[in-house]
Chain A
Amino acid sequence: DTAVSQTPKYLVTQMGNDKSIKCEQNLGHDTMYWYKQDSKKFLKIMFSYNNKELIINETVPNRFSPKSPDKAHLNLHINSLELGDSAVYFCASSQAAGTGDNEQFFGPGTRLTVL
């Protein structure tokens, strides 16, 4: 059974388009995250939500908007896509929030390519 799933796995689109990536976890976790992995494999957190509430919001262009309809889902919507948005986006989840000692479970990633 998939713990953290993301769709789509691959996304190829033109500059200027708007796209969404969906994430779902069936682990019963309260906290979900979005990370961006660039072409040099560097991973950086973008957002985290705890029980549908935004907790972490790193310095990310406001073209990126996360949405959490319920605590099992965290979607990422990106407006006006730019070449620099090409990356692999990982969703993750963990049991609780605010203590730093939670194991985060990662999804398989969505490879976004902007042409």
Chain B
Amino acid sequence: AQSVTQPDIHITVSEGASLELRCNYSYGATPYLFWYVQSPGQGLQLLLKYFSGDTLVQGIKGFEAEFKRSQSSFNLRKPSVHWSDAAEYFCAVGPYNTDKLIFGTGTRLQVFP
């Protein structure tokens, strides 16, 4: 069965520090991969997605993610975090031939000034 694991429930970083949020997936083939961000009290916004091609994808708000097939990972990175990045981050996999997004349990990011 397809699944997504986000090992870090809660991460705290200082403003200006670099960030990496981990995501591992379980799927029999190359899935479609997504990162969403949920600000407090808000809906989810797509940060970036990977379907095929270049394994390093750029997203909005200065985020990027790298697909590593050998590690079944799709980690999200940002070189310098801003206080406004504090939110909940969700990794999701979209199995081929279905629109059923399967979400990880989320990583809560806290940013200290």
Contacts and interface: CB of A to CB of B under 8 A. Distances in A.
Contact of B45 (A48, A98, A101, A106): A106
Nearest to A9: B41
Interface string B30-68: 011010101001111110010100000000000000000
Contacts, number: 70
A102 B43 contact: no
B105 A48 contact: no
B96 interface: yes
Interface residues of A, number: 29
A106 B98 CA distance: 18
A100 B103 contact: no
A98 B98 contact: yes
A77 interface: no
A103 interface: yes
Interface in A77-100: 90, 92, 94, 97-100
Contact of A56 (B42, B45, B49, B99): B99
Interface in A23-77: 31, 33, 40-45, 48, 55-56, 58
Interface of B: 31-32, 34, 36, 38, 41-46, 49, 51, 88, 90, 94-103, 105-106, 108
